[in-house]
């Protein structure tokens, strides 16, 4: 049997192995210890991380994970497995041969070393690395690149690699987002008075230093608004999930929803285009915590629109990216 023409490594952020303080502490230690995520000098940050953050946050974060945990593990992991299987089936159908697809995480399991060995065992000597981040950021996509480079250091034989940097304005991505919003409106039987596009935030200093993330988020938002034919007063974009005391990208999601609630806004639809799979930040922070901010401030209906997850339109996009970036293999 001839080897496959290429293999695909799907990569997402990561997840604890269990919703327990011990597992969360191990995961947060790896995640928050990455200089791509927190760029403070190590001599300053590591004592804070190990002396304060990892002794106080794991219990609370574990409780949050427990509230969204499923029989198949964390939502991010369960959805990632479905995405992997669906993409592998789709590529086999479109190319007429088995193309191995494996799921890896930047932090935690499954580790890139393990996934690389799986792809090698399946005969893939050409690997397309597809980070599941539509918008590029040093904190996400660049961290994947760094982690991959470290994983490959001990390898005596390197595969040929290609790396998808971003797809924030890809027509299939915008179309998939727009379709998900239209389906949500159809299911609900009406539109919310406003559509809020909430993105994971990053410290403002990262953008000032050249991180293109906010520009790409703005481009995604504008294209989605145009696809949905929304006027300027019918949508807004914000940033969520800030951490620490530094200024992050604004406007903030929680503050915006509190202000809209205080206005007595009748209804709001909320989507988070930066997330390829629902996870703690969407299911607990956005759908639950921020819903509370909006309704407690006086707002009406709060309706969360699920991430693209393993929707057929999302698999269409991932297939298109694989076919585009594997040309010539």
On whether both 64 and 187 belong to a single domain, the answer is no
Binding positions are 200, 281
Rounded mean pLDDT, 184-188: 97
- pLDDT tens column, 53-86: 999 999 999 999 999 999 989 999 999 999 999 9
> Is residue 176 located within the same domain as residue 251?
yes
Does residue 102 share a domain with residue 212? no
User: Quick check: is 195 in a domain?
Assistant: yes
pLDDT confidence of residue 20? 98
Contact 127, 119 (CB under 8 A): yes
Encode pLDDT of 237-268 as tens digits.
999 999 888 999 999 999 999 999 999 999 99
Name the band, by pLDDT with cuts 50, 70 and 90, for residue 208.
very high
Q: What pLDDT, in 10s, does the model give residues 115-143?
A: 999 999 999 999 999 999 999 999 999 99
Residue 146 inside a domain? The answer is yes
Asked if residue 227 and residue 162 are part of one domain, the reply reads no
pLDDT digits (tens, 9 = 90+) for 269-279: 999 999 999 99
**Lookup: tokens for 260:** 């809209």
Residue 258's pLDDT is what? 98
CB environment 56-77: b (16+ within 10 A), e (fewer): ebbeebbebbeebbeeebbbbb
Helices 312-325 and 171-188, axial angle in degrees (round to 10): 180
Is residue 60 situated within a structural domain?
yes
The number of folded domains in the chain is 3
Decide which of 47, 68, 89 is a domain's last residue: 68
2 in a structural domain: no
Q: What percentage of the chain reaches a pLDDT higher than 90?
A: 96
- Global model pTM greater than 0.75: yes
The band of 155, judged by pLDDT with boundaries at 50, 70 and 90, is confident
Split at pLDDT 50, 70, 90, the class of 156 is: confident
Beta sheet of 126-131, edge-to-edge order: 101-107, 7-14, 126-131, 160-163
Pair (185, 89) in one structural domain? no
| Same domain as 267, residue 196 | yes
Domain encompassing residue 59: 21-68
pLDDT of 322: 98
Cα dist. 76→72, 134, 171, 213, 303 in Å?
Answer: 10, 16, 25, 22, 21
| Per-residue pLDDT, 245 | 86
C-alpha R_g of the chain: 20
Question: Does residue 1 fall inside a structural domain?
Answer: no
140 and 213 inside one domain:
no
Whether residue 231 contacts residue 306, with contact meaning beta carbons closer than 8 Å, is answered with no
* Annotation: binding site for Fe(2+): 200, 281
pLDDT at 157: 85
Q: 212 by DSSP, 3-state: which?
A: coil
Question: Is 1 a residue whose pLDDT tops 80?
Answer: no
| Contact indicator for 273, 221 with CB cutoff of 8 Å | yes
User: What CATH number is given to the structural domain containing 117?
Assistant: 3.40.50.1400
Residues ≥6 apart with Cβ < 8 Å to 284: 64, 65, 67, 68
Helix (H) or strand (E) holding 64: helix 54-68
CB 25 within 8 A of CB 59: no
If asked whether residues 82 and 186 sit together in one domain, one would say no
Q: Are 62 and 291 in contact (CB under 8 A)?
A: no
Which region holds residue 189: left if phi is over 0, alpha if psi is between -120 and 50, else beta? Answer: left
Same domain for 87 and 62, yes or no, is no
Residue holding tokens 């919310």?
Answer: 192
- Same domain for 90 and 118, yes or no, is yes
141 and 82 share a domain? yes
Gap between the Cα atoms of 257 and 267, Å rounded: 11
Whether the CA torsion 174, 180, 186, 192 is positive or negative: it is negative
297 and 316 in a single domain? The answer is no
Confidence of residue 2 (pLDDT cuts 50, 70, 90): confident
């Amino acid at each position: 049997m001839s080897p496959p023409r290429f293999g695909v490594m799907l990569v997402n952020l990561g997840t604890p192995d269990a919703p327990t303080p011990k597992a969360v502490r191990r995961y947060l230690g790896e995640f928050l210890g990455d200089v791509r995520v927190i760029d403070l000098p190590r001599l300053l940050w590591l004592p804070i991380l190990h002396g304060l953050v990892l002794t106080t946050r794991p219990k609370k974060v574990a409780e949050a994970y427990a509230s969204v945990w499923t029989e198949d593990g964390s939502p991010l992991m369960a959805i990632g497995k479905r995405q992997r299987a669906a993409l592998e089936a789709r590529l086999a159908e479109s190319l007429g041969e088995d193309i191995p697809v494996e799921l890896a995480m930047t932090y935690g399991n499954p580790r890139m070393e393990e996934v690389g060995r799986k792809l090698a065992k399946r005969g893939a000597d050409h690997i397309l690395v597809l980070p599941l981040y539509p918008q590029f950021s040093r904190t996400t996509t660049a961290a994947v690149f760094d982690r991959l480079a470290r994983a490959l250091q001990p390898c005596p034989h390197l595969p040929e690699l290609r790396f998808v940097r971003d797809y924030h304005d890809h027509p299939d991505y915008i179309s998939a987002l727009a379709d998900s919003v239209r389906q949500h409106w159809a299911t609900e039987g009406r539109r919310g008075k406003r559509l809020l596009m909430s993105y994971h935030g990053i410290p403002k200093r990262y953008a000032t230093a050249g991180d293109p993330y906010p520009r790409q988020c703005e481009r995604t938002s504008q294209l989605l608004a145009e696809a949905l034919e929304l006027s300027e007063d019918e949508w807004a974009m914000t940033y969520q999930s800030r951490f620490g005391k530094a200024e992050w990208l604004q406007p903030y999601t929680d503050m915006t929803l509190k202000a809209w609630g205080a206005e007595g806004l009748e209804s709001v639809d909320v989507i988070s285009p930066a997330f390829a799979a629902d996870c703690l930040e969407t299911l607990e922070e956005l759908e639950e915590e921020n819903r509370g901010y909006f309704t407690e401030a006086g707002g009406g209906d709060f309706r969360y629109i699920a991430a693209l997850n393993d929707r057929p339109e999302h698999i269409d996009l991932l297939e298109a990216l694989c076919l585009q970036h594997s040309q010539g293999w």
